[in-house]
Structure 1
């Protein structure tokens, strides 16, 4: 005869989640017991729709007592307990019935997959939980929070047999940021655990959970301290020790103590030599400490690790896309772009939705300068055949200033989907950048004052007419924008487009704050794309020089990126009079290297190296420079001594090395 299974739950105000949960167990449990601790949102009605036995239980800040109240009502031979923000995976239903037939097992550790993060970026983290066990009167939960029962079963039956059933999977949505915020879980859990610890200060598991709640509350240093207390003297076979060690590592890291974090990670690897997460975080920490070669070795170890045991609760991607992404970044640090591309491609093969890797690939290919080559390369590796993928690609091109390619993707996406107001504005901006002004204006005209994008649309309309030299239109649109009551910084940027400053001020200059400068630099970049260098300089010359404090290097970089080397050089030299940044010296070195002025280039690469001795790119640039210089000297020598076999052989060697 088949064993009867009882689902036991405690709930409060879970109408939003409960239906999903109960649907997931339909057909695989024989009765549903719901203990309600004070719902006011229709939770009880939802439960009764599924034939549940519903009982009220006054909440007393003790989860075990509420859970035990549900066990008292259960009549099945087996107990499955779930929370309302969990579901039983569909493929697990038959397996649950099969496991209940084993007469030699008292309970099962089940795989749970926790969904973490926010709606914009959700990750998964597996773990093991004790959720399926025999219904015996002596088996009751203990602990006010993170209630336990597995140890109680062992206390009552020393020979009780447990098994791990990874084929049974529970999906948990409760760690999503939205769920946590709605239930105010962080402050509630901390309060309950603190009260428990006052009674059981030696309880390692309780202290571990206290550390977890402190970590979630972003109290990282305190969390690390509690985790260390829980770890000191612990049995290495403790099932949650791998997670505990990882928590110590990421708590120290988040508290700004990378050296301590790395020490703990290395210690942890002595106990768990196959733990991919510890290799991964060791790599992250070495990267933070600028130990680039060692970081690469750790990431390579992470990707070489086998499938992780469920009790490790390994984070998604540490053996795949996350490690490959970091390996790509390390390759870029060493200016090895081919190797970086290889790692980013591996990253996307492991997780096609990880768009930062795609963005880095596109950045390396330089789509603004090499549009056809970029398209050709991407088409060989990936398929962008859906409207969503075309939209994502268009957005990346747009952010990188490759407006022609962005426009092509946005138009492709629009053939099979309705573009959002933001995406339509991207399209209008792309049309302006391609000087297709009438088409851009038609899109801009569709935005009304009720739209949150209306001010930005009007600002682009202003830019569109200003570039065309239509002063009346510029003045009219400026007045419309002023009427919107925008931030003063934005209004000051708008004033730059008007050719009639206060004539009583001979040297009229506009002062901008951080937001105003940021907006202006976006406009400057677009003007440089349009080769409107004079208009760009006209706007910059209207700004009070002090407004650019802290961003002169960024302005120099803009002119460098768009190929205005003389202007970039002048701006960099001006910047270096007050700020000897390594990046400024590096850019000057790059300019002089391209111009064949190797002596000046060497000087600035050396200055950069002096400022940032831990950055390998300056060594690599110097090596390339010396190789070029060697070739130049050998060409000169061969020209002077054309019959010299020595110089010819050296020149051939130099060419082969480049």
Structure 2
């Protein structure tokens, strides 16, 4: 469906400045989708322009004026495509979305398309997705469609103003964004820059709801939740009904209230949000988290169950990865654990481990629950039956986790079931002895020796500092667990001991 440059279908429009580290990846990702590339350069001093030219881009020199919308519009002024696609240099189009984008471009009955921005923890698309945000990024090339806002610039208002009946569609197109990865925001000092621009815009338009919303976001990033809350509430007072980000205002309002200790206020804000957006799983999940915090376990279970009933967020909402799925299962498991519903808690943690892209912290919870409910002997069979087969290839990691949590017999069972059993046969005996030993008989040195055995210590490459901390602390945790487990069921202290065992620090498999 690629067009000639004389009659381009999709024009990619970007603004850049010193983006040499990431620009090539972005431009490479749109090959086969974009027929024309317009790069507005606001003053690069590195190789950004030459990289852009190597992909056939047209470079527009635009001196920086402190106005992102003006820079964006400079690119739109020269674009020739039927459609405008907007990306930033720290983004890339998902390879599977090229065809989807071309399908969208066939539907001329729409004026614009939203795409799903996946904000990553790291700087590549294999890194965990932290949040998913629907943002309008492809729209018809119309001289009346122009960006507004000197920072966090938007095109939707301009489209609606020019075409009040404009039809906009939520597409399945995915764009990966790495600009919020650890260190990137600090490196570019984005928060300071954004605050300065937003405050300047606030002076011009004090009742601009979107500007108030963006100020709140920046203050939340700074940890100033009181200031953020003021801007959120001003935005709620000014915002036009059905505006796309209203659901986020309620979500951020309740978070600011919760962080500042106002749990009743946070729950009230949550309920107001749910009344307007009953299919938004994030609000139900957060309500469950708040109720768990105040030990309202029955209500927390109901809220989290509702989030799971909805499942992954509908694409119109900003969401965090795992809400409505694995993170909610973990939280529900914690609630069930608190009220003694161990079987249901095990089911929740198991489902979370099945869905989680990084399941080991959840497996640690599962191991702890099996141990504290007296079912350590069932662990090997349960994990083999219910967890992905790929985890079987990480047997040393599982054995290490079991030993670190004092599940010595279970660790021996796992090792005996593996191909390496003969090579570590001598090591299985001390594991069995440690499992049979009483709290008095078990010694710090004995546990340390188990943790330092090559089968365990060599399972993962660990930083020296983390290794030293684990070697010092973990044996004491195991000894405390053994002593607490020794309190018989008839002891008056048994319920408290059981609760403390569950609350002891979980081992981290990476330690």
TM-score, normalised with respect to structure 1: 0.63
2:354–2:387: 8 Å Cα contact kept in structure 1? no
Query: Which residue, 328, 341, 345 being the options, matches 2:350?
Result: 345
1:12–1:38: 8 Å Cα contact kept in structure 2? yes
Q: CA 1:412–1:188 in structure 2 vs 1: closer, same or farther (change >3 Å)?
A: farther
Query: Which residue, 179, 184, 193 being the options, matches 1:188?
Result: 193
SS in 2 for 1:15: coil
Match of 2:148 in 1: 142
SS in 2 for 1:54: strand
The within-5 A match list for 1:286-435 is: 286-305=291-310, 308-351=313-356, 353-366=358-371, 372-383=377-388, 385=390, 389-402=394-407, 433=446
- Is the counterpart of residue 151 in structure 1 residue 74 in structure 2? no
Match of 1:52 in 2: 57
Cα shift at 1:39: 2.4
Q: Deviations over 1:491-519 (max 9, x none)?
A: xxxxxxxxxxxxxxxxxxxxxxxx9xx97
1:242–1:311: 8 Å Cα contact kept in structure 2? no
Q: CA 1:433–1:73 in structure 2 vs 1: closer, same or farther (change >3 Å)?
A: farther
Higher relative contact order (CA 8 A, sep 6+): 2
Match of 1:34 in 2: 39
Query: Which residue, 215, 219, 228 being the options, matches 1:223?
Result: 228
1:3–1:101: 8 Å Cα contact kept in structure 2? no
- Is the counterpart of residue 98 in structure 1 residue 103 in structure 2? yes
Query: Could you tell me how far apart the structure 1 residues matched to 2:449 and 2:287 are?
Result: 51
Q: CA 1:224–1:68 in structure 2 vs 1: closer, same or farther (change >3 Å)?
A: same
SS in 2 for 1:214: helix
Q: Deviations over 1:105-136 (max 9, x none)?
A: 33222332222479997334332222212223
More helix by share: 1
Query: Could you tell me how far apart the structure 1 residues matched to 2:348 and 2:171 are?
Result: 31
SS in 2 for 1:128: strand
Cα shift at 1:442: 12
Q: Deviations over 1:276-314 (max 9, x none)?
A: 111111100111111111111111111111653322123
Q: Deviations over 1:399-458 (max 9, x none)?
A: 31345765887999998xxxxxxxxxxxxxxxx848989x9599999xxxxx9639968x
2:313–2:323: 8 Å Cα contact kept in structure 1? no
Query: Could you tell me how far apart the structure 2 residues matched to 1:230 and 1:44 are?
Result: 39
SS in 2 for 1:308: coil
Query: Could you tell me how far apart the structure 2 residues matched to 1:326 and 1:348 are?
Result: 12
Structure with greater Cα Rg: 1
Query: Could you tell me how far apart the structure 1 residues matched to 2:32 and 2:122 are?
Result: 31
Question: What count of residue pairs does the alignment treat as equivalent?
Answer: 467
Q: CA 1:391–1:83 in structure 2 vs 1: closer, same or farther (change >3 Å)?
A: farther
Cα shift at 1:381: 2.1
RMSD between aligned residues? 3.8
Query: Could you tell me how far apart the structure 2 residues matched to 1:91 and 1:525 are?
Result: 47
Of residues 270-279 and 179-188 in structure 1, the stretch that sits farther from structure 2 once superposed is: 179-188
1:87–1:170: 8 Å Cα contact kept in structure 2? yes
Cα shift at 1:374: 2.4
The within-5 A match list for 1:458-497 is: none
1:3–1:100: 8 Å Cα contact kept in structure 2? no
Unaligned runs of 5+ in 2: 421-444, 501-511
